[in-house]
Structures are given as structure tokens and as C-alpha cells.
């Protein structure tokens, strides 16, 4: 049997060998005892600390109130539990989970304080690292997408002041990864992270993923936004040396302004992204601010548009020909000119994928086509050229000025037929009619293209100064199916008759089969066009 009490020498051994650090002071806070674990934890030897007040361990990390609360609890006789950040003898910080127990003497007064503590430095470091990881991108140290979005969104709720969102995408970063390896690529990104942060001390910079970054910063107008964003581009352009190799990056940067371009993060991001795509497509070396005409465009359209402009500027654009057969004389004296450009994907017509209602596109196209027509007329003096124009050209005073200028320089309008598509023209009819009359007065012939798919009644056409009707190939092709001929035949016959009644010449286009030529003849059409007769080619059929 034992009494349950340990002899003093056993108690001493227990204290000495306890894994927790133990510190015992008297009521005034003078250290009476520390164990070996204390020595290991703090780096102080026992002789150095006995008789002293433990305040030499203070890190300065806790406010005064922390210690006041501590002493209040202790003096009232209650144990105090808490996490302390203290300083070791070598100056380094450690975090301990501490319990300080007041121990009463025989009189009931607090005579000793016993502090036991557990070192949780590593646990805490791990925890804060995990927290960091959930907000910071581990590679660049920038905010990750989620944290960046949260910051911007909180800011949007609070802030009435004007700001800008920058969307930055590295150009050809894949090449860095491919040539130097992914590890080197990662080092370049890590370096870039700190540079971007330094470039924008009053903003928030985040990595949205891969080689895409975003920044959110105060800017009172577009000018200031551009200036600040220029710092980001400059940071990207600074040389980085990896594996002994100097690497110089480039980026494209788009800006959206708060509040004029959007009041939500999603809207601002979308529009900054569109502006970024324009910067990338046109290889702009400066920040590009969003403009409303970008809405609705896809990055692919923008890239193609830029390719189109480059092709025009570098002689990679050309006109091909598709000759038309004169059914009465069996001759090819007419040819439609069709736009083509060289691209990495071969020679193609990009116009179907471009937005021709965009003035810069339409204008550049017309400028090219009409300058070419003037040259082609010299090369093929007996040919009549048919050229396509859009309703957007026809409602633009600049277009008429361009055409008049070409006529003035020697273009022969009487040897040109201008085609405008019925479907495109229809919604703009009243706006384009004056231009059609002006062109007619200048001497051009006019044709309504792809007729029969829109809703224009032939009578409607009486008010337009037209010379030709090109019957839509879709309408012709409707006649191809089982019994199609008997359904479409009468419609075509009626169209041709009405057109002739109005004094218009008729073209049947999309002719791909012998029987369709025969049909054109039978209907009394004037001209026929189609792959069977002549496929679009670099040269017209010689008359």
C-alpha cells in the first residue's frame, strides 16, 4: 500500500524529465525553478535565469492589455491558459501554449506560480503556411485567383472611388517552358511575381492561373490607368537570368475602368480580357483600354481581324476572280472579284468570320478592293468587274469619298458592277438608297446579290437604281431535291419575268450542274455563275 504521495526526490525527477517546459516563480514573479525542457526551449541555462523576472522572454508581440488580463486572472487565483509568442536567448521567436497555475500556500495566499508550456512553434508555422497557401499563389507569392477576386469584390462594395482592372497575359510564355524547361519557367514566374508587386505598390496583384495575371488599383481616368499599367508591362519586360540564360518576356495588357466599364468583378474582368485580346491580336506594346465596340467580339475574331490588317499591310491580300458566263453570247466578259488573304492556314476568305460592321475592317477592305480594281481594269481592259460592297460602306460618307477619288484617278465606273447582298441591305435600305443613287450617277452598275432569301418584294426594288438581280444560289439549290424542280421552277420563272419587266438583268449563281445551266437558259437568264463554269481562281477566264 502507498499513501499516494511521492517522495520529494521523485517529484524532482518528474519535473526534470517532463516533456513540457516548467517554470516556477514566487508571488512577485522571481524565478525559483526551471526544468531541462525549459532550457531546451529557450536556450537559457538555469543559472542565468534563477532569481530573475521572466519578462526577459517577452517578444514584444503582445500588447500591454494581454499581460494585464494575464495578471488579473492569476491574482484572483485562477489558472491562465494562453498562447505566448516569446523570444529565445538567440533572439528567435517561439510559440508556446502555456498554462500558468497559481499555487496557494498554507495561508491560502498565492505563493507560487507554476507555468508549464508546450512548444507549438512548428504547428503554428504550418497553420499559417496553410492559410497563406489558400490565399497566395505558391509560385509567385501573388494572391491566387480566389483571394484576388475576394479582395476586389470587397473593395467594390466599399469603394466609391475610381479604379482600374488590368488583365495581363504573357506572350509566348510556352516557348520559355519549351526551350528552358518547366523548372526554369517556374523560376521566371516566381521572379515576375515580386516584380509585378513592386511595380504597383498601391494596388492588388493576383495570378489568375498559368501565365495570366490581374491587377486592381486606383486610377482617376484612362490616362492614369494606362500610366500605372505601363509599370506592369515594364516589370514584365525586365530581363531575368535563368540557367545562365537571359530571358526577356513580353505581355499583352487590357484595362477596364470602374465604374464606367462595369460595376461587378465579372463584367470588369470580361471587358479587360477583351481589351487584352485586342492588344495581343494587334501586338500592341502598351496597355489597351476597353472600348464598347469590343463587346460581342470573340478573341478569335479579334485575332483574325488583326491578321487581316497585317495581310493588307504586307501584300498578302489579293483578289481572285470568278467569271460569269454570258448566256446569250457564250462569252466570259464579266468576273466577280473575291477577297483572299494568305495565312498560316493557307489562302482564305476571312470575311465570313470578320465583323464587317466594324468600320476599321470595312474601310480597309474597300480601300484595298477599289485600288485593285483600278489596276485590274488596266490589265483586263475588256473585262467588266463585279465587286461586293456592304451596306455599312454604303451608309458611310467616307466610302463615297473613296470611290469618287478612285474615279477621279482614272477608275472606269461603267466597267464596274457593285453588288450588295439583299439580306444584308434590307434592314438598311433607307439609309443606303442615297449612296446607291450617287454611285449610279457616277456611272457604276448596281446589282442586288443573293436575291430570294430575304423579304424584299420585287416592287420594292422599283425605287432602287438597280441594273442586275443575282438570284441566290440557295434558292436554286432548293430545286435539287426530289420534286424540287417543280416547286422552285415556277418561282424562278416568275422572278426572272418580273426582273426583266423592271428592266433588270438576271444572274443565276451557284451553278454546279449541267442541268442548272440548261435551266438558266430556259428561264431566260442573262448570266450564269458557279463552280461548274468557273471556280474562283487567281485569273479570270479570258474573254
Q: Mark residues 377-406: x for contact with ligand C2E by CB under 6 A, - for none.
A: -----------xxx----------------
What beta strand segments (E) does 134-211 contain? 143-144, 163-171, 204-209
User: For the chain, what is the radius of gyration of the CA atoms?
Assistant: 41
Per CB under 6 A, the segment of 23-31, 164-172, 223-231, 510-518 that binds ligand C2E is: 510-518
C-alpha cell at position 398: 467616307
Count of beta carbons in the 10 Å neighbourhood of residue 324:
29
Secondary-structure percent of the chain, ordered helix, strand, coil, rounded to 5: 45, 25, 30
Asked whether position 449 contacts Ca ion by CB under 5 A, the answer is yes
Instruction: Return the residue nearest ligand C2E (CB atom).
Output: 530
Q: Is residue 34 a contact partner of residue 49, using CB atoms and an 8 Å limit? A: yes
One residue of 531, 537, 538, 539 binding ligand C2E per CB under 6 A: 531
- C-beta of 406: minimal distance to ligand C2E in Å? 14
Asked whether position 322 contacts ligand C2E by CB under 6 A, the answer is yes
Residue 232 CA to residue 238 CA, distance in Å, equals 10
Q: Is residue 526 a contact partner of residue 331, using CB atoms and an 8 Å limit? A: no
Asked whether position 323 contacts ligand C2E by CB under 6 A, the answer is no
- C-beta of 336: minimal distance to Ca ion in Å? 6
List strands edge to edge, sheet with 93-104. Answer: 31-34, 21-26, 110-119, 93-104, 80-87
| Cα→Cα distances 61→27, 58, 140, 336, 442, Å | 24, 8, 28, 83, 87
- C-beta of 475: minimal distance to Ca ion in Å? 11
Q: Give SS3 for 5.
A: coil
One residue of 351, 461, 523, 527 binding ligand C2E per CB under 6 A: 351
Residues 352-411 that bind Ca ion (CB under 5 A): 388
Element holding 97 (H helix, E strand): strand 93-104
Count of beta carbons in the 10 Å neighbourhood of residue 241:
11
Q: Give SS3 for 525.
A: coil
One residue of 510, 519, 523, 540 binding ligand C2E per CB under 6 A: 510
Q: Give SS3 for 66.
A: helix
Residue 468 CA to residue 391 CA, distance in Å, equals 17
- C-beta of 371: minimal distance to ligand C2E in Å? 12
Asked whether position 419 contacts Ca ion by CB under 5 A, the answer is yes
- C-beta of 277: minimal distance to ligand C2E in Å? 24
Residues 432-451 that bind ligand C2E (CB under 6 A): 449-450
Query: Is 211 an annotated catalytic residue?
Result: yes
Catalytic residue among 211, 273, 396, 450: 211
Asked whether position 369 contacts ligand C2E by CB under 6 A, the answer is yes
Query: Quick one: what does residue 390 bind among ligand C2E, Ca ion, none, with the CB cut-off 5 to 8 Å set by partner type?
Result: ligand C2E
In SS3 terms, 422-479 reads as HHHHHHHHHHHHHHHHHHHHHCCEEEEEEECCCCCCHHHHHHCCCCEEEECHHHHHHC
- C-beta of 415: minimal distance to ligand C2E in Å? 17
Residue 319 CA to residue 230 CA, distance in Å, equals 40
Nearer residue to ligand C2E within complex by CB, 365 or 439: 365
Query: Quick one: what does residue 323 bind among Ca ion, ligand C2E, none, with the CB cut-off 5 to 8 Å set by partner type?
Result: none
Number of residues that bind ligand C2E (CB under 6 A): 21
Asked whether position 334 contacts Ca ion by CB under 5 A, the answer is no
Look at phi and psi of residue 263 and say left if phi exceeds 0, alpha if psi is from -120 to 50, else beta: alpha
Per CB under 6 A, the segment of 22-30, 291-299, 403-411, 504-512 that binds ligand C2E is: 504-512
Nearer residue to Ca ion within complex by CB, 165 or 508: 508
Strand partners, 441: none
Query: Quick one: what does residue 141 bind among Ca ion, ligand C2E, none, with the CB cut-off 5 to 8 Å set by partner type?
Result: none
- C-beta of 275: minimal distance to ligand C2E in Å? 27
Asked whether position 119 contacts ligand C2E by CB under 6 A, the answer is no
**Residues with catalytic function:** 211
Q: Which residues bind Ca ion (CB under 5 A)?
A: 388, 419, 449-450
Which residues make up the interface to ligand C2E (CB under 6 A)? 322, 338-339, 349, 351, 365, 369, 388-390, 421, 449-450, 509-512, 529-531, 536
Amino acid at each position: 500500500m502507498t499513501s499516494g504521495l511521492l517522495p520529494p526526490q521523485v517529484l524532482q525527477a518528474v519535473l526534470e524529465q517532463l516533456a513540457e517546459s516548467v517554470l516556477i516563480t514566487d508571488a512577485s514573479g522571481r524565478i525559483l525553478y526551471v526544468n531541462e525542457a525549459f532550457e531546451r526551449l529557450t536556450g537559457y541555462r538555469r543559472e542565468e535565469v534563477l532569481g530573475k523576472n521572466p519578462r526577459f522572454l517577452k517578444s514584444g508581440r503582445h500588447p500591454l492589455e494581454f499581460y494585464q488580463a494575464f495578471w488579473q486572472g492569476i491574482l484572483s487565483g485562477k489558472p491562465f491558459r494562453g498562447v505566448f509568442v516569446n523570444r529565445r536567448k538567440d533572439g528567435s521567436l517561439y510559440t508556446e501554449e502555456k498554462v500558468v497555475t497559481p499555487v496557494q500556500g498554507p495561508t491560502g495566499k498565492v505563493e507560487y506560480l507554476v507555468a508549464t508550456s508546450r512548444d507549438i512553434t512548428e504547428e503554428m508555422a504550418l497553420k499559417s503556411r496553410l492559410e497563406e497557401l489558400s490565399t497566395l499563389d505558391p509560385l509567385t507569392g501573388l494572391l491566387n485567383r480566389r483571394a484576388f477576386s475576394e479582395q476586389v469584390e470587397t473593395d467594390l462594395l466599399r469603394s466609391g472611388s475610381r479604379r482600374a482592372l488590368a488583365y495581363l497575359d504573357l506572350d509566348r510564355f510556352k516557348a520559355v517552358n519549351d526551350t528552358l524547361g518547366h523548372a526554369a519557367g517556374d523560376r521566371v514566374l516566381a521572379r515576375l511575381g515580386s516584380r509585378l508587386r513592386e511595380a504597383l505598390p498601391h494596388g492588388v496583384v493576383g495570378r489568375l492561373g498559368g501565365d495570366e495575371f490581374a491587377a486592381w488599383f486606383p486610377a482617376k481616368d484612362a490616362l492614369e490607368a494606362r500610366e500605372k499599367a505601363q509599370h506592369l508591362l515594364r516589370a514584365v519586360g525586365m530581363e531575368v537570368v535563368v540557367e545562365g540564360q537571359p530571358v526577356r518576356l513580353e505581355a499583352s495588357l487590357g484595362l477596364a475602368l470602374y465604374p464606367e466599364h462595369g460595376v461587378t468583378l465579372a463584367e470588369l474582368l470580361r471587358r479587360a480580357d477583351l481589351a487584352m485580346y485586342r492588344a495581343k491580336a494587334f501586338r500592341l506594346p502598351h496597355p489597351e483600354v476597353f472600348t464598347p465596340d469590343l463587346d460581342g467580339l470573340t478573341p478569335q475574331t479579334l485575332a483574325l481581324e488583326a491578321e487581316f490588317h497585317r495581310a493588307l499591310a504586307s501584300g498578302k491580300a489579293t483578289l481572285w476572280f470568278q467569271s460569269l458566263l454570258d448566256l446569250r453570247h457564250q462569252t466570259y466578259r464579266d468576273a466577280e472579284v473575291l477577297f483572299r488573304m494568305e495565312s498560316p492556314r493557307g489562302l482564305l476568305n476571312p470575311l465570313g468570320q470578320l465583323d464587317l460592321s466594324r468600320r476599321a475592317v470595312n474601310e480597309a477592305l474597300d480601300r484595298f478592293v477599289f485600288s485593285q480594281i483600278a489596276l485590274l481594269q488596266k490589265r483586263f481592259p475588256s473585262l467588266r468587274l463585279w465587286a461586293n460592297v456592304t451596306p455599312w460602306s454604303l451608309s458611310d460618307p467616307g466610302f463615297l469619298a473613296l470611290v469618287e477619288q478612285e474615279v477621279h484617278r482614272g477608275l472606269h465606273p461603267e466597267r464596274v458592277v457593285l453588288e450588295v447582298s439583299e439580306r444584308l441591305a434590307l434592314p438598311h435600305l433607307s439609309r443606303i438608297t442615297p449612296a446607291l443613287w450617287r454611285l449610279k450617277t457616277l456611272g457604276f452598275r448596281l446589282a442586288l446579290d443573293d436575291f430570294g432569301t430575304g423579304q424584299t418584294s420585287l416592287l420594292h426594288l422599283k425605287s432602287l437604281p438597280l441594273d442586275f438581280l443575282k438570284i441566290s444560289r440557295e434558292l436554286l439549290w432548293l430545286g435539287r431535291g426530289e420534286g424540287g424542280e417543280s416547286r422552285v421552277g415556277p418561282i424562278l420563272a416568275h422572278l426572272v419575268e418580273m426582273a426583266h419587266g423592271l428592266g433588270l438583268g438576271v444572274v443565276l449563281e451557284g451553278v454546279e450542274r449541267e442541268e442548272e445551266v440548261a435551266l438558266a437558259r430556259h428561264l431566260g437568264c442573262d448570266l450564269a455563275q458557279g463552280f461548274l463554269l468557273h471556280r474562283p481562281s487567281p485569273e479570270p477566264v479570258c474573254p
